[in-house]
Amino acid sequence: MNSSKSLDMTEEKFWLMKSEPDAYSIDTLKKDGVTLWDGIRNYQARNFMRKMAIGDKVFFYHSNCKPPGIVGFMEVIELNIVDPTQFQKESGYYDPKSSPEKPRWDCVKVKYLFKAAKLLSLPELKILFNEQELLLVKKGNRLSIIPIEIEIAKLLLEKIK
DNA sequence: GCCAACGTTGGC
DNA sequence: GCCAACGTTGGC
């Protein structure tokens, strides 16, 4: 492992996580204070969660709604939690191929930090960034968890304060 | 409702 | 391992 890589591990990282407000909204998180980010059933998104560290910051994005955009900010407070919904038959997130002995899906716990002063809408994000800078604005993007470069994160933070 | 952009599945 | 068929996400 080279020195720049070990340095990265000590740095606070930024992410963006999507949720449909009908399923779980920023207002619900504000009320709950903390929540388990469960129900992720995409390997790439799961693997991003596995790269998270305690203290990492996360932009909360409302998807599949009007209007879509960044609505808040939160912090990762717990890692490597087995997603309980994969074993719950009545849950929409039930995975018959998973078992408590060999779970497939895990998640993180996040804490509410603040709501965006004003929604940072997808059209605004498209004006501010291109898809190389911000994967979220890529056409047809379906990834529900996205890493955010630190310079981009600083800009986004300014916009939602 | 349409469709782009993937991801997943299963036959071979 | 290839790839066609199918499913899902999510903006519009």
In a domain, A5, yes or no: no
Strand C close to A141 by CB, under 7 A: yes
User: Average pLDDT in the A70-85 region?
Assistant: 96
- The CA distance from A61 to A18, in Å, is 5
Hits for CB < 7 Å against strand C across A residues 79-108: none
In a domain, A3, yes or no: no
Q: What is the CATH number of the domain that holds A97?
A: 3.10.590.10
- Indicate whether this model's pTM tops 0.85: yes
H or E element in which residue A64 lies: none
Q: Give the domain extent around A149.
A: 12-160
Residue A54: strand, helix, or coil: coil
Domain count, chain A: 1
Residue A121 CB closer than 7 angstroms to strand C? no
Q: Give the count of beta carbons closer than 10 Å to the beta carbon of residue A130.
A: 10
The pLDDT assigned to A9 comes to 58
Q: Is residue A50 part of a domain?
A: yes
Name A154's Cβ contacts closer than 8 Å, sequence gap at least 6.
Answer: none
pLDDT for A5-29, tens place per residue? 555 556 789 999 999 999 999 999 9
Residue A126 domain-assigned? Answer: yes
